[in-house]
Structure 1
Amino acid sequence: MNHKIDNYIKEKLQKLGWEDKNLVEKTGLSKGQISKLKNGHVERLTAEVFYKIYKAFGDFCPKATKVIYPDLDLKLKKYSPKARNDFGSFMDQFETIINSIEEIAIKTGIEENRLKDLYYRKAALEAYELLLIEKAVGKKQGELFEKFFGHTS
């Protein structure tokens, strides 16, 4: 997913009259990392970096999302569980699974294997993925960012 973090950073720095060092201090990111982000040399924008940047600027997730991901379609696909036979239908009453990997994969369009990498391995969660996952599980935009990364700032 293409992002415009470089434009966002440049616009915000100019608007606030900040230098790169101000953003380094506020985010805890390195000067080199800020420079790469600002100059468009970062292909994949992790959810944590996205969060640190918009929080440092005092922004809210929905506002930052519109600038950084202007082409991101947050419309979910419809999830329909697989058809069950008689026994499967009977057992349905005992199940309480919601927001399964399968359901989130179908709703968001993120491949199930990618979600498994995010859930069970050390894959770097991209910002647009968390934005889609938030929507799929019925959370407000930025809510999971705050819950997951808010304690690290």
Structure 2
Amino acid sequence: MIHKIDRYIIKRLADLEWQDKELVEKSALSKGQVSKLKNGSVEKLSAKTFYLIITAFGDNFSIAIPIVYPILKNINLKIFHPKRRNTFGSLMRKYEISENSIEELSAKTGIDEVRLSELYFRQGALEAYELILIEKAIGKKPGELFEQLYGKS
């Protein structure tokens, strides 16, 4: 998914009258990484990098997300429709305790089940937009899962 982290960084640096070095110091990102992000030469924006930038600026995720991912402003999650079951399957449904399964998150967010499995069980690098969609799908506030994953304990 296309992001506008470069525009966001340039705007916030100007607003705060910072140089790149302040962002480097506050975010713990390298000077080279900040430069690449600012110049728009980073194709995939990791969730952790997004978190570090937002928190370095002291910003709110609700404000930053529409700037970095304007396409997500008007996105509506899909409705999850469980697979149709036979009589036995319907009976067993009342004994299942499942919420926000990979299947359900995939249906709601449009993120492929294979990709979600990769994120859950392998070393898949979580992209910022994926975590934003997952937060929305499970009813969390913008930035809540970012904070749980990357926040300082």
Structure-2 residue corresponding to 1:58? 58
For residues 5 and 114 of structure 1, what CA distance do their matches in structure 2 show?
23
For residues 138 and 74 of structure 1, what CA distance do their matches in structure 2 show?
14
Counterparts of 1:1-153 in structure 2, within 5 Å, are: 1-72=1-72, 73-151=74-152
Shift, 1:71, TM fit = 1.4
Write the deviation string for residues 56-100 of structure 1: whole angstroms up to 9, x where unpaired: 111111100011111124310010111111111111111101100
Shift, 1:15, TM fit = 1.0
Shift, 1:151, TM fit = 2.5
Q: Which amino acid in structure 1 is aligned with residue 89 of structure 2? A: G
TM normalised by structure 2 equals 0.96
Please list every run of 5 or more consecutive structure 1 residues that lacks an aligned counterpart in the other structure: none
Q: Which amino acid in structure 2 is aligned with residue 32 of structure 1? A: G
For residues 62 and 50 of structure 2, what CA distance do their matches in structure 1 show?
12
| Sequence identity percentage | 59
Q: Which amino acid in structure 2 is aligned with residue 79 of structure 1? A: F
Q: Which amino acid in structure 1 is aligned with residue 38 of structure 2? A: K
Deviation beyond 4 Å, 4+ runs, structure 1: none
For residues 24 and 70 of structure 1, what CA distance do their matches in structure 2 show?
25
Root-mean-square deviation (Å): 1.0
For residues 65 and 10 of structure 1, what CA distance do their matches in structure 2 show?
15
TM normalised by structure 1 equals 0.96
For residues 60 and 146 of structure 1, what CA distance do their matches in structure 2 show?
11
How many residue pairs are counted as aligned between the two chains? 152
For residues 14 and 61 of structure 1, what CA distance do their matches in structure 2 show?
19
For residues 16 and 22 of structure 1, what CA distance do their matches in structure 2 show?
10
Decide whether the 8 Å contact of 1:74 with 1:132 is kept in 2. Answer: no
